[in-house]
Amino acid sequence: MNSSTTPHPSALAFFSISLLLAAVGSVGAGDVPPRATQVAALEMELSLARRPDVYLVLNPSARQLEVKVRGVALDRIPLRGVEKILHVPLLSASSPPPFPLPAVWRVVDGPGDSDREYIAPTELRPYKAEGYDDPPAAATPTRPGAPPPTATPIPEPPASYRAQLDCGWDLWITETLPPLGFLARARAAVRDGWERLRGRGTHPRPAITLAMDRDDAKRLHHLMRSGMPLLVLADP
Amino acid sequence: MLVVALGVAAVLARFGHAYAAYPFLHVPDERAATGDAQALGQRAARAATALDRLRPTGTYLVVDTYRNRLHVYRDGELLRTAICSTGTGIVLRDPRTGREWVFDTPLGERIIETKRRNPVWAKPDWAFIEEGMLPPKDPNERFDDVSLGKFGLYMGDGYIIHGTLFKSLLGRRVTHGCIRLGDEDLEFVYNTTPIGARVFLY
């Protein structure tokens, strides 16, 4: 599904509580019992859905990210990849430990908080002095008859950005993964080594990286705010 | 020369870092639900039932603040999609006090608390400060009975679904957090959506 062109799922698909409902149904029929992780994920989602806030559900095995409120899937974003990406020495043999899942992580600092434009008049003139009867320099929608205003240009959200999670990792939303072939990595390591010698090395945090279409990445940008919960499901 | 260059590169690569990808492996969280199959089944059924009860029924609205679309649903069936305008996300700072207002459309669930025909807008301080003016001392000078259009659906905390004088800006992020609709769509939403209806914004 290219969700960037599909306004909404159909009515039936619109209510997506969870894939776990299937497991629950089978329990009722006396078939396969749900796994402990499935039950835990369902209970975690319930605790999130009891609040009126937006939350995200990442299903790594289905390569899907959902935007939900009250258990209702408002948006589904297909993922091209879900990876752990670390900035490590070229020949590093260690790999990160597996995550205990399911889990709920929260954004502690995201571009939805920080990428904002500020406006501040330098001074305020008395309301009456240049008053309501005189046309203002900039038209306002509160004044009928005034010329239509020009919308304040809003910067286009980026297609690649990071949000810090409370688990110590970043959530890296990106259209394209960094080059990961050996030669590309070797080039990057040489470049990084040179920068480190000059005291300008970078130390990106380890990242859970979600690769997705450009428009999908852009429209997630404003949701990456402090406190935004991310429920990560375990494999079914 | 080549050997020297390769040697330097090797030394630099020894100190440098590069991105490496690892599969998204995980293990079951030991704190996750435990118990026998029957108990797990019961817990899952309870949670699923509780989630099911949270579903909206009747008429409800869904607002996509990125695409600037408002959808009207009734019992899961899409009745109408309207182009709307939502908040800019800009922050306005009062030069006198440093107080800030964030022009975001709220996210999550809201309720239609009241509905009014010919709504009157009591302009808050930010509406004047944004124009470079001090807020008036006379409260009567705050009232505006034109800007909100013919109908208003109030979602609490000053957030309203209302009309607009400037239809050309529909479909763009131009508001202070309210949701603006065109005249026909606003009338449809007003007539279709009862007080108490839920609004899901994302």
Of A34, A102, A142, nearest to B144 by CB-CB distance is A142
Asked if B93 has any chain A CB less than 8 Å from its own CB, the reply is: yes
User: What pairing do the DSSP bridges indicate for beta strands B179-181 and B114-117?
Assistant: unpaired
Residue of B30, B51, B118 to mutate, interface with A, max A Cβ within 10 Å: B51
Complex ipTM value: 0.89
Q: What is the pLDDT along chain A (236 residues), one digit of tens a residue?
A: 334 444 444 333 344 444 445 444 444 444 566 788 889 999 999 999 999 999 999 999 999 999 999 999 999 999 999 989 888 887 777 778 888 889 999 999 988 887 788 888 888 888 864 444 444 433 344 454 555 566 677 788 999 999 999 999 999 999 988 877 888 888 888 888 888 888 887 788 899 999 999 999 999 999 999 999 999 998 76
* C-alpha to C-alpha distance for B46 and B53, rounded to whole angstroms: 11
* Domain boundary assignment for chain B: 59-201
A219 and B136 in contact by Cβ < 8 A? no
Six token digits for residue B46: 């309870």
The three-state secondary structure class of A58 is strand
B31 and A100 in contact by Cβ < 8 A? yes
Asked if B4 has any chain A CB less than 8 Å from its own CB, the reply is: no
A vs B: CB pairs below 8 A: 318
Query: For A11-114+155-232, CATH number?
Result: 2.40.440.10
- B88 to chain A: which residues are within 8 Å by CB? 117, 152, 154
Confirm if B175 and B163 have CB atoms less than 8 A apart. Answer: no
- B86 to chain A: which residues are within 8 Å by CB? none
Task: Assign domain B59-201 to its CATH architecture.
Answer: Beta Barrel (2.40)
Of A69, A95, A186, nearest to B202 by CB-CB distance is A69
Residue B22 buriedness (CB in 10 A; 0-12 / 13-18 / 19+): middle
CA atoms within a 13 Å half-sphere pointing along the CA-CB vector of B101: 20
CA atoms within a 13 Å half-sphere pointing along the CA-CB vector of A224: 25
* C-alpha to C-alpha distance for B143 and B31, rounded to whole angstroms: 57
Question: In which residue are the tokens 């396969």 written?
Answer: A32
H or E stretch at B188: helix B183-192
* C-alpha to C-alpha distance for B176 and B102, rounded to whole angstroms: 8
C-alpha B39, offset from chain centre? 39
* Domain boundary assignment for chain A: 11-114+155-232
- Tell me which DSSP letter residue B112 carries: -
pLDDT, tens digit, 9 for 90 and up, residues B103-135: 999 999 999 999 999 999 999 999 999 989 999
Edge-first strand listing for the sheet containing A103-109 = A72-78, A64-69, A55-59, A229-232, A103-109, A161-165, A170-174, A207-211, A81-89, B17-23
A85 and B136 in contact by Cβ < 8 A? no
B56 and A192 in contact by Cβ < 8 A? no
A225/chain B closest Cα distance in angstroms: 11
